[in-house]
Amino acid sequence: MSEQEVSSTVENNPEDIKALLEAFGRCSRIAEVMLRELWDAADVAVYLKCSTHTVTNKYSRADTWPRAVGGGEMKKMWKRDEVIAWAMRRAA
């Protein structure tokens, strides 16, 4: 597809632009999360593609869930690598 064809396609499809921007936002959010070594429930939810409610009320209560390492009782934090390892074991 030529540059002119791409340009006219984008100009004629604002919904495509919206979808691309939303996808970019999701990609940039996961990239931002992956850079942190400690994750809170919101970060874990982004990685696991679930709600923070599911993280705090289901996953974090499982016997196999990683031990919280910071943030106190009100905002628990978990090591990124341990959460990823947990997710990989769960998927297997």
Give the C-alpha separation, 69 to 8, whole Å.
52
* 32-51 pLDDT, tens digit each: 888 899 999 999 999 999 99
Instruction: Please give the CATH topology (third level) of the domain spanning 37-92.
Output: Arc Repressor Mutant, subunit A (1.10.10)
The mean predicted confidence, pLDDT, of the chain is 84
User: pTM for the complete prediction?
Assistant: 0.70
Residue 28: the pLDDT is 79
